[in-house]
Amino acid sequence: MALSPTLPSRLHHTAYVAKDLEATRRFYEGIIGLPLVDTWCEVDELFGAERVYCHLFFGLGDGSALAFFNFARQEDQNLFGPALPPSPFRHIALNVDAPTQKSIEERLAAAGYTAPQTYVLEHGYCRSLYVSDPNDMILEFTVDSPAAVAVAAQRRGRAHAELKRWLAGDHTSNNTYR
């Protein structure tokens, strides 16, 4: 299937609620190495009340960003903060090259992040470094295998058939890499 020219061109940003903006800034800028590219301090009429909040944007290489909100009033923070416990099945994965992944891993270790706070999974088609940020959000820094482009093209061709098979009750693994 050819990609449509009307698809979004890239992720603009993804947003989360931060427990502590300074701890979040130290982690993303000071340890991970993402630059703080914008800080918006705002007062808006939102969802039936005046909300006072700040949000930070940390830049990624393609111009997109990770954004974090924090509210001045605890009741707003509680209302909009994450209601679900941390889960490895809710995370954001960022593609990096091998030297960048190694550098992040080294900076995390130097900052005191060790197992089980960080861990590596060899998926076969990629190598992933995982860490939880100060907001309990799980980040994955992924290095694709040299065959990633070919694998993606092959998987794309079978995506609908594999979904149909799963929905029909056949839950056999189709990951031949592990």
Position 27 in a domain = yes
What span, in angstroms and rounded, lies between the C-alpha atoms of 66 and 140? 13
Domain count, the chain: 1
Q: Give the per-residue pLDDT at 113.
A: 93
The least confident of 129-138, 148-157, 163-172 is: 148-157
| Per-residue confidence band for 4, with pLDDT thresholds at 50, 70 and 90 | low
Cβ atoms 126, 143 nearer than 8 A = yes
Mean pLDDT across 112-139 = 90
Residue 123 located in a structural domain: yes
By residue range, what is the domain housing residue 56?
Answer: 13-144
pLDDT band at 178 (very low <50, low <70, confident <90, very high): low
E-strand ranges in the chain read 13-17, 36-46, 49-59, 65-71, 91-95, 118-122, 126-132, 138-144
In a domain, 42, yes or no: yes
7-38 pLDDT tens trace = 777 888 999 999 999 999 999 999 999 999 99
The count of other CB atoms within 10 Å of the CB of residue 62 is 10
Q: 66 lies in a domain?
A: yes
Give residue 138's pLDDT.
92
Q: Find tokens 């694998």 and name the residue.
A: 151
Q: Does residue 116 lie within any of the structural domains?
A: yes
At 110, which CATH number?
3.10.180.10
Phi/psi-derived region of residue 50, left when phi > 0, alpha when psi is between -120 and 50, beta in every other case? beta
Say yes or no to pLDDT of 81 above 90.
no
**What local confidence, expressed as pLDDT, does residue 41 receive?**
93
Query: Which pLDDT does position 2 carry in this prediction?
Result: 57
Q: Is 84 inside a domain boundary?
A: yes
